[in-house]
Amino acid sequence: KPLNQFRAMRAHSKSVPAVYPLVLLCLLCFLWAGGLSSSFGTPTTLFSTQFESAQGYNANFNLAGQNGWTKFGSGGNGLTNGFFSGQGQQAYVGRFPPAPGYSNLFVWQPINFSPVAANLPLVTFTTLMRIVGSTNGQYDFFQWQVFNNQTQPLIIVDFDTDTTNVSYFLDGTQYVNSGVKFALGTTYTLTVTMNFAVNRWSATLNSALLATNQPITT
Residues 116-140 have pLDDT tens digits of 999 999 999 999 999 988 888 888 8
Which pLDDT value is given to residue 9?
Answer: 47
Which pLDDT value is given to residue 137?
Answer: 81
Cβ atoms within 10 Å, residue 104? 15
Mean of per-residue pLDDT scores for the chain: 83
Please report, for residues 16, 30, 91, 201, the alpha-carbon distance to residue 45 in angstroms, rounded to integers and kept in the order given: 39, 8, 20, 19
- Least confident range from 82-86, 89-93, 177-181, 199-203: namely 82-86
Residue 186 vs residue 34, higher pLDDT: 186
Rounded to an integer, what distance in angstroms lies between the CA atom of residue 180 and that of residue 212? 13
Residue 58 vs residue 43, higher pLDDT: 58
The residues near 175 (Cβ < 8 Å, ≥ 6 apart) are: 158, 167, 168, 169
Please determine, for residue 213, whether its predicted confidence score (pLDDT) is greater than 70: yes
Please report, for residues 63, 157, 168, 196, 200, the alpha-carbon distance to residue 122 in angstroms, rounded to integers and kept in the order given: 28, 18, 20, 6, 10
Helices (H), the chain: none
Please determine, for residue 28, whether its predicted confidence score (pLDDT) is greater than 70: no
